[in-house]
Structure 1
Amino acid sequence: MPRFLLCSFLYLSITISACQSQTNTDSQVGGACEGCEALYEYGDKVLSPVDTLPLFASSEPKLKLWGKVYQKDGETPAAGVILYIYHTDRTGIYATRGGEKGWGKRHGFIRGWVKTDDRGDYAFYTFRPSAYPDGTEPEHIHLTVKEPNTNAYYLDNFVFEDDPILDQKKRSVLSNRGGSGLALPVLKNGILEVNRDIILGLNIPDYD
C-alpha cells in the first residue's frame, strides 16, 4: 500500500475508533431543539445560582427572574441544573456587538447561565425585553435547561400577563413545558420580579 494511503487509512481508523469510544449516556428527551447547543457556550465561566445579564445596570425596566427547580415529583429540589436564557434588547432585536461565535451570532449577547444550588434555587437579573419590531411576537425570554443525565432541551418562554400582544390565541398554544412561563411582573424595590418554579419533565416528550 502506498505510504500516503496507509497514513490516510490509519488516521481514519483512529478517528472512527475515538468517536465510537465516546458513548453518550445522556437520555434524549424533549424532541428537536434548534439552538439548544447554545446552553454549552458559557466557556470557562464558573456557574452559580445567580447571574446578571449584560446591560442590566443601564436598562429599564429592570427585571429579576427567580424561583426553584424541582424534580418531576414537584417537591424534591433539583441541584446542578443549568438554565440558559436569552432575549431581545429594548428595540426588539437580538443585539450583537460583533465577533460573536456559535449561537451568539443569532441569540445576541444578552444572555446568561446559572446552575441551581442544593435547594434548586436560581435567579437572573436582566431587563424586560421588547417585542419584535413588526409586532408579530409578544415580549418573551427564551429558556433552555440541562439537567444531569439528559440532553439540553427547551422550556416554555417567560412571557408576561400584561403584554397586550399576548392575546388569547397566543396564550392558547402555550405548551407549559416545565410548567407555565406566564407571569405578571411585580414591582419590588425598583425591580420587576417574576417568580417561576420549574418542574423537570413536566409536559416534556420522552421524559421517563
Structure 2
Amino acid sequence: MSESLWQRQLSDGLADMGLTLNEQAQQTLLAFLALLNKWNRAYNLTAVRDTGQMVSRQLLDSLSVLPFVTAESVLDVGAGGGLPGIPLAIARPDTQFTLLDSNSKKTRFLTQCVLELGLKNVDVIHGRAEDCQPDQPYAQITSRAFTALENLVTWCGDLLAIDGEFLAMKGQFPDDEVAAMPDSWQVVSHQALVVPGSDGDRHLLVIRRRSDVQN
C-alpha cells in the first residue's frame, strides 16, 4: 500500500533532514498527500503522479525550507496544490499561513484541505497577487515554481513588509533571473536544499529590498 510506503519515506526523510515532527503532524501530512493524489486525477494539481515520488517531491521538498520560516504570518503565492504552504502550516501550527492562487479549481482544493484536515492556521484567497489587498503586509512570502524572480518582486512587492523577505524556491540556481531583478531588490542569501529521495538541484533564495536604493 502506498500509505505504508509514504509513512516510511516521510519518517526516514524527516530524520535525514534533521526535522522533528510529532506523530499527529506526520499523519496530517500523509492525509494531505492522499487528498492531493485523489484530487490530482481530476484537477491536475501537480505533475507528480508516481506515488513513490510524492513524499520526496511534495512533502519533503516543501519542508526543506521549514528552518527559514520565522515570521508569525506568511503568504504563499501561486499556492497551486498547496506546496509549500500546507506542509509548512501543518509543521508550524502557531504560524498563520495565507495561500493565494488565481486558479479557482486549485483554491477549491485548498479550501477542502483546510476543512478536512482541520487547519486552523490557514486562509485561502482566490485571486491575483496584483489585486490582493491584505490588512497588513506579510513578513515573509514563499513561492515554489510560481514565476520568474522579476515578476515575483514586481507583482508581490506591495504585499511584503518593508523589512520583509521573499523565500523563493527554485531548481537550478537562476542566474539569469537574479540578474534581471529590479535594482531595488537583492538576493541576501541563497541555500542549496538537500531533499531526500530527490536527485535534482534545489535552491532557496532569500530576497529583500535594498536599503541603499529608493523605490
TM (normalized to structure 1)?
0.31
Larger of the two Rg values belongs to structure: 1
Higher relative contact order (CA 8 A, sep 6+): 1
TM (normalized to structure 2)?
0.30
